[in-house]
Structure 1
Amino acid sequence: MSSGNADTIFVLVGASGDLSKKKIWPTLCNLKRDFLPSNSKFVGYARSKLTIEEIKAGVKPHYKMKTAEDEEAFDSFFSNSTYMSGKYDEVSSFVKLSEHLKSIGGGRDINYVFYLAVPPSVFDAVTSNIKLCCMAPKGFTRIVVEKPFGHDLESSDILSKHLASLFTEQQLYRIDHYLGKEMAQNMLVLRFGNQMFGPIWNNQSIKAVKLTFKEAIGTKGRGGYFDPSGIIRDVMQNHMTQLLCLVAMEKPPSLEADDIRAEKVKVLKRVQPIVMEDVVLGQYVGDKTKPEDSEAYQGYLDDPTVPKGSTTPTFATAVLHIKNDRWEGVPFIIKAGKGLNERKAEIRLQFKDAQGDIFSQKCQRNELVFRVQPNEAVYAKLMTKTPGMEFKLEETELDLTLTERFQGHKFPDAYERLLWDVYCGNQSSFVRSDELKEAWRIFTPLLKEIDSRKPTPVEYIFGSRGPQESDELERKYDLKYSGTYSYVKQNKSQL
């Protein structure tokens, strides 16, 4: 890390909130322990009248401490941290914050990073007051923006114009933590560093692409936050669209941030707006065979924080179409939901049937699967002969499970990787304004139709795979799921 980063103060705005306690404070603690200089400074700012010791106590249950060294690192981190209480819409509060930053900077040239973990209602005021009062006098000032980046195309454009009036694009880091996950980071290498994939990564070989995001939990009392958004705004327009870009984009001329992000914009421009005929919406209901005190027993509408009679989807499957030479005719099926049978995020490329069949239709389609979470892996499903005298076919895999192949390596948390990139000034894994605009262009017509018509979502039982209508939509686009294969981990002691 350059010497300039040794003089960087990280300011967490919204420091007492849920995201800050569970994610950002613990991430900063890990960064300081493993990467940042020992004299790095951290400042929390929020409306709550708290002390840094009270902030520390709130963070401690969410910080993984296995050893005495971990506890020592945690204590050391907060000894270099301070907290200020102030209003978000009051200039005088930010004047005091600026004076505090200058005082702990020791009169040296100093850089500022502001992480905005604040609700949309105060975003304009916070960013305006930072620009007015808290810009670094000589060093850099960087602004990390947490989603939601608007509610639709119009609100997103208003937000982008507001930010552009205050800061340059080089100062803005719109964070989507999925871009910090190990497999997302690996996609550029897997795609463009291996010649074997190049000739088959197109509509000549690939039948369909499926991107899946599944959660085994429901809203858990957070329905008040989730309900205004729904699963499409919460997951599909951002996380899953970013993964789609990594699959569908062309090779960038370099690994420079603007080169990578320009290719994402190019492919997004070729994605057609989603139509309702290509969508299935669902909402989970309770599994009444489960104990009454279990989460599975409660449906979405049973959550007291969810408005009565809400038609907000907790599940959606949508088909996207990319109109370019590489992907014309290949459906990109994105599926996301809460209250499903497992926690999983993956990218699945299903290849066309082998031509000139000589095996009496016993072969299943090949698939290349990128497991994003949990247990990051890349595996290829292929047909092979079962050992023995009988000529019997079986579906199996070529497997690269990263935690097994790279034992002893640290797998950083997504936020940890991305905040390190902020310190280093690397914007390649952050969302640019034109990229954001194109993503909203694709989803806004669908969202407006859902918001105005309020279609009743299909019910599915908590803990199931989701609505059968989703499977029917996939079959409509000839995505085949045989159900004959399960991914079995190898026992290394037998190798």
Structure 2
Amino acid sequence: MSRQRAMSGTIPSMETSNEALKDNTVIIVLGASGDLAKKKTYPALFGLYQRGFLPTDVHIVGYARTKMDEAEYHKRTTSYIKNPNNDEEITAKIEEFKKATTYVSGDYEKGEAFDNLNKYIEEVEKRYQGDQRHRLFYLALPPSVFIPVAANLKTHCYSKRGINRIIVEKPFGKDTDSCRTLLSSLKQHWTEDETFRIDHYLGKEMVKNLLVLRFANVALGSAWDKNSISSVQITFKEPFGTEGRGGYFDEFGMIRDVLQNHLLQVLSVLAMERPVSFSAEDIRDEKASVVSVKVLRAIPPIERADTLLGQYVAANGKPGYLDDDTVPHNSVCPTFAATTLWIHNPRWEGVPFILRAGKALNESKVEIRIQFKDVTQGIFKDIARNELVIRIQPSEAVYLKMNLKTPGLYTRAMPTELDLTYKRRFAETYIPEAYEALILDALKGDHSNFVRDDELDVAWKIFTPILHWIDGQSGPRPHPVGYPYGSRGPKELEAFIAKYGYKRADQGYAWPVTNLSNL
């Protein structure tokens, strides 16, 4: 596929350049038969391929233990590619994409299996012109095989004629010690410059937009501290439970699955100081060095008193967590967690950062809610607080909840919003999936939206004591409170948030998100 043809089409493209991409590149997806590859990796690769954002003549090799023929492989890898209207152009692109990807089966532990993979890659590379041969290895694998696979790739499949890069998926350990073990083991084989630790939340459009929102707007920047902000909430909600896949979840729980990585990464971008520039290295240095060394180190380990744990129970015709046959019958694993973090530095001292996430809740939503302090009392009494809300997904939006005069002859304030809803404002603009943006960054060698090793170490220190408490390593395990499937969470949540000064407006205000269904 030529870049010229891809870029001259009518499909809206990401505002970036192919010039940093290296031709003669093979992308190897390890774990190609698994759910992650099927649901995220291959759809993202197709999205980049469709829009001309992969290197010229790129070839994708899938690798896994599962034995399957080419037809089965292509069926799996394209089953989650979206084409709801059976668009002929997209269908043709899918068929073209299939020709650019093939499959090899093999073991994850045995060196001879990787020798076989290397021979296959070399056969693919014979069609390339010039001396360079570049390889990107994507580990869509469980962490139990990270180390043997990383070692085998370096020993048996490392290209000596070009650039090699490896993408590693979370989770990066289960606590501080296991994270350090994993990081040190990877470093024995792959340099920091070659390693890309992916947290897909850093690739989401609205998270990436936080840098511009914060630092390109004087009106917001001047109010971005403890003098104006009362509290910050970062919320993750899923409307479904484990549904037969509770075995994996019960091992890790909601804090490891969401709070310690995704939501803490969002907090990092919210709390970081201004970078020297928006270049990749400056942003990464500011986030990793200043946030991890200064901001994250300024966050003490989470206290038990600043934690609320819940577990969903049967309701509304849906089974409870313990009704899942894949979950241990007496599990006290939390499916809901709210934790409050404190940043002890001059900018944020005294501002609670409340991270909360749960399964089997009333809606699907990820958002940031920044509540400002009360207006000075006098002419106004009990007026609603301003809130800046950044909706990360679904229906990306930024809105500022503010007070205006009620229309008419009365001088009475009412809460309303300044609303930037992306589907309305950018109706014709393609917003890439997070994995598309991050895979493209890895191909270009851009580390700015990936997690560095020193950042991971400090992040785990914040959560490890509370995780050991939940796991029963520091005394009796806490029992999460029950909450009904399909509810907003534990009934104790309102009091939990209120004790940190959050005030819910009682004037019946609601952001008109339902209007988006007509767009």
TM over 0.5: yes
Q: Deviations over 1:350-407 (max 9, x none)?
A: 111001331232x111111111011111111111111001222211001111221112
Amino acid at match of 1:197: L
- Aligned equivalent of 1:263, options 290, 296, 316: 290
Q: How far 1:52 sits from its partner (Å)?
A: 2.7
Contact in 1 for aligned 2:65/2:106 (Cα 8 Å): yes
Instruction: State the partner residue of 1:208.
Output: 231
Say which is worse superposed, 77-86 or 476-485, in terms of deviation. Answer: 476-485
Contact in 1 for aligned 2:21/2:54 (Cα 8 Å): no
- Aligned equivalent of 1:284, options 300, 312, 316: 312
Q: Distance in 2 between matches of 1:491 and 1:132?
A: 55
Instruction: State the partner residue of 1:294.
Output: none
Contact in 1 for aligned 2:21/2:444 (Cα 8 Å): no
Say which is worse superposed, 212-221 or 106-115, in terms of deviation. Answer: 106-115
Q: Deviations over 1:403-429 (max 9, x none)?
A: 211121101111111111111111111
Instruction: State the partner residue of 2:342.
Output: 321
User: Does the residue aligned with 1:200 lie in a helix, a strand or coil?
Assistant: coil
Instruction: State the partner residue of 1:95.
Output: 115
Q: Distance in 1 between matches of 2:319 and 2:118?
A: 48
Instruction: State the partner residue of 2:255.
Output: 232
Contact in 2 for aligned 1:280/1:317 (Cα 8 Å): yes
Q: How far 1:80 sits from its partner (Å)?
A: 1.5
Query: Using a 3 Å threshold, how does the CA distance of structure 1 residues 471 and 149 change in structure 2: closer, same or farther?
Result: same
Instruction: State the partner residue of 1:52.
Output: 70
Amino acid at match of 1:188: L
Q: How far 1:253 sits from its partner (Å)?
A: 1.1
User: Does the residue aligned with 1:202 lie in a helix, a strand or coil?
Assistant: coil
Confirm or deny that 1:431 pairs with 2:451. Answer: yes
Instruction: State the partner residue of 2:29.
Output: 12
Q: Deviations over 1:248-292 (max 9, x none)?
A: 1101112233324323313111111101111000000111xx34x
Query: Using a 3 Å threshold, how does the CA distance of structure 1 residues 456 and 3 change in structure 2: closer, same or farther?
Result: closer
Q: Distance in 2 between matches of 1:142 and 1:414?
A: 19
Confirm or deny that 1:83 pairs with 2:103. Answer: yes
- Aligned equivalent of 1:186, options 190, 196, 209: 209
Q: What RMSD in Å do the two structures reach over aligned CA positions?
A: 1.5
1:20-59 equivalences under 5 Å are 20-34=37-51, 35-37=53-55, 39-59=57-77
Q: How far 1:236 sits from its partner (Å)?
A: 0.2
Q: How far 1:491 sits from its partner (Å)?
A: 7.2
Contact in 2 for aligned 1:312/1:457 (Cα 8 Å): yes
Q: Distance in 2 between matches of 1:344 and 1:234?
A: 16
Q: Distance in 1 between matches of 2:148 and 2:514?
A: 54
Query: Using a 3 Å threshold, how does the CA distance of structure 1 residues 37 and 123 change in structure 2: closer, same or farther?
Result: closer
Q: Distance in 1 between matches of 2:361 and 2:469?
A: 25
Q: Deviations over 1:432-473 (max 9, x none)?
A: 001111110100010001111321100000111111222211
1:300-339 equivalences under 5 Å are 300-339=321-360
Say which is worse superposed, 36-45 or 405-414, in terms of deviation. Answer: 36-45
Q: Distance in 2 between matches of 1:415 and 1:148?
A: 16
Q: Deviations over 1:229-258 (max 9, x none)?
A: 110000000000000001111011122333
The answer for unaligned runs of 5 or more in structure 1 is 292-296
Say which is worse superposed, 349-358 or 82-91, in terms of deviation. Answer: 349-358
Contact in 2 for aligned 1:210/1:334 (Cα 8 Å): yes
- Aligned equivalent of 2:267, options 215, 235, 244: 244
1:349-428 equivalences under 5 Å are 349-361=370-382, 363-428=383-448
Amino acid at match of 2:309: L
Contact in 2 for aligned 1:52/1:78 (Cα 8 Å): no
Amino acid at match of 1:259: D
Question: In the comparison of the two structures, how many residue pairs are matched?
Answer: 484
Contact in 2 for aligned 1:253/1:259 (Cα 8 Å): no
Structure 1's consecutive aligned runs of 4 or more residues displaced over 6 angstroms after TM superposition are none
Q: Distance in 1 between matches of 2:117 and 2:514?
A: 55
User: Does the residue aligned with 1:442 lie in a helix, a strand or coil?
Assistant: helix
Q: Deviations over 1:76-108 (max 9, x none)?
A: 111111111110000001111111111111164
User: Does the residue aligned with 1:282 lie in a helix, a strand or coil?
Assistant: strand
The answer for unaligned runs of 5 or more in structure 2 is 1-17
Contact in 2 for aligned 1:251/1:263 (Cα 8 Å): no
Instruction: State the partner residue of 1:70.
Output: 90
Query: Using a 3 Å threshold, how does the CA distance of structure 1 residues 58 and 197 change in structure 2: closer, same or farther?
Result: same
Instruction: State the partner residue of 1:485.
Output: 509
Amino acid at match of 1:360: K
Q: Distance in 1 between matches of 2:124 and 2:116?
A: 13
Confirm or deny that 1:199 pairs with 2:222. Answer: yes
Confirm or deny that 1:145 pairs with 2:173. Answer: no
Q: Distance in 2 between matches of 1:252 and 1:234?
A: 29
Confirm or deny that 1:176 pairs with 2:203. Answer: no
Amino acid at match of 1:109: Q
Q: Deviations over 1:40-66 (max 9, x none)?
A: 100001111112321111233311123
Confirm or deny that 1:217 pairs with 2:235. Answer: no
Q: Distance in 2 between matches of 1:284 and 1:174?
A: 31
Query: Using a 3 Å threshold, how does the CA distance of structure 1 residues 336 and 134 change in structure 2: closer, same or farther?
Result: same
Identical residues among aligned pairs (%): 47
Q: Deviations over 1:20-41 (max 9, x none)?
A: 1111112111211212245210
Contact in 2 for aligned 1:32/1:40 (Cα 8 Å): no
Amino acid at match of 1:437: D
Q: Distance in 2 between matches of 1:334 and 1:490?
A: 25
> TM-score, with normalisation over the residues of structure 2?
0.91
Q: Distance in 2 between matches of 1:84 and 1:178?
A: 30
Contact in 1 for aligned 2:42/2:78 (Cα 8 Å): no
